[in-house]
Amino acid sequence: MSAPATTPTREYLKPPVTEVGVIGWLHANLFNSWFNSILTIVMLLVLWQLVPPFFSWAFIDSVWNSPAEACRDIDGACWSVIPQNISFIVFGFFPDGQQWRPGIAMLLLIALVIYSKDRKHWKKSLGVYWLVGLIVMGTLMYGGVFGMPVVETDQWSGLPLTFMLALFGMVAAYPLGVMLALGRRSKMPAIKTLCVIYIEMIRGVPLISLLFMSSVMFPLFLPEGVTIDKVLRAQVAIIMFTAAYIAEVVRGGLQAMPRGQFEAADSLGLNYNQTMRLIILPQALKIVIPPSLGILLSAFKDTSLVVIIALYDVLKTTKVTLSNPKWTGYSTEAYIALAIFYFICCYAMSSYSRKLEKALHTGR
């Protein structure tokens, strides 16, 4: 028998060069129609106009760590404004020589955050670690023990203040938000009305108005002789504000619970507290983890608003630096640097929240 019957002699045609490799990719993604081709070319032209000048301003003609005088006679960016003032921008009015304390507190916080990222660590012990961590951070900041001098809260400023306002805002607001959400779903008309009024009123007004309330109106509420520190009052305003938003998120989670869960709990003879604590909330709160992270993200961004009631968060310390005549005129650089910092924090949070959403979405 002849061999050709079993060995194929068909010729394989290679795919056309316009379909594979770099050219194929370009063809498929950038030049797949006349309209897209024009769009690509226009875009490239615009980028060519913008990117090289920005690049040379930011990296080539720039100075990175020089005294203010050296910035006067260059065309590029004066990034020196950040490193030359870094200790004030980060720690604000925290006394010199004591700044290692907020430094360690922040490192501790970052370590805790990184530890909590792994879902394998989501156990009861994690809550304990956080509690201990928060107490240690608070002690480090306030002092008064182990020979650390007391630093009053009005000297807390810069980055630690930003982190504190956001973190405590979230931690303290969460239980309040859950209670408000349960109240809003309650069958008792008076409680439901109170919760609805609170939630809708807070969500209807800007955070600024609450911060104003805390700074100008709240002192009037207190009996004579009692004063509450400004930072704490702002913290309370942020907590009240965040709680209303958390309540709405949690309500979404509660509404997503199938009726069968409530009925099953009833048929087991559980009372309201047991039903909520053992059956409903564990499931509902799991659903709302990603949107809650979204709230933490906006709480973190919103802490910058305390600038307006003259608290020295990291944005305000940057502004104070810029009002120093030596460094006036370099706002663009300082704000870009600050924007990069906020971007890194927020982007990490939002991409983590998206990943979590995917992981927790087990499909029902």
Specify the residue, 217 or 256, whose C-beta has the smaller distance to other proteins. Answer: 217
Specify the residue, 31 or 130, whose C-beta has the smaller distance to other proteins. Answer: 31
In angstroms, give the least distance from the CB of 334 to other proteins. Answer: 9
| Residue 149, helix vs strand vs coil | coil
Q: Which of 17, 39, 74, 310 binds other proteins (CB under 8 A)?
A: 39
Closest CA to 80 of 91, 71, 88: 71
Q: Which of 17, 23, 43, 111 binds other proteins (CB under 8 A)?
A: 43
Binders of other proteins: how many residues, by CB under 8 A? 53
Can residue 285 be called a binding residue for other proteins (CB under 8 A)?
no
In angstroms, give the least distance from the CB of 143 to other proteins. Answer: 30
Closest CA to 78 of 59, 64, 94: 64
CA distance 137 to 171: 14
List % helix, strand, coil for the chain (3-state, nearest 5).
75, 0, 25
Question: Cβ distance 157 to 317 under 8 Å?
Answer: yes
Can residue 204 be called a binding residue for other proteins (CB under 8 A)?
yes
Cα Rg, the chain, nearest whole Å: 28
Closest CA to 362 of 283, 296, 272, 281: 283
In angstroms, give the least distance from the CB of 330 to other proteins. Answer: 9
State the Cα torsion 165-223-200-347 to the nearest 10°.
0
Can residue 216 be called a binding residue for other proteins (CB under 8 A)?
yes
Q: Which of 51, 308, 359, 360 binds other proteins (CB under 8 A)?
A: 308
The CA-atom distances, in angstroms, between 141 and each of 105, 229, 233, 284 are 7, 15, 18, 35
92 sits in which H/E element: none
Q: By rule CB under 8 A, what string of x and - marks binding of each residue 220-259 to other proteins? A: xxxxx-----------------------------------
In angstroms, give the least distance from the CB of 129 to other proteins. Answer: 28
Can residue 360 be called a binding residue for other proteins (CB under 8 A)?
no
Q: By rule CB under 8 A, what string of x and - marks binding of each residue 9-38 to other proteins? A: --------------------xx-xx--x--
> Burial, 263: exposed, middle or buried (Cβ in 10 Å; 0-12, 13-18, 19+)?
exposed
Contacting residues toward other proteins, per CB under 8 A: 29-30, 32-33, 36, 39-40, 43-44, 187-191, 194, 201, 203-209, 212-213, 216-217, 219-224, 301-302, 304-305, 307-308, 315, 319, 329, 331-332, 335-336, 338-339, 342-343, 346-347, 350
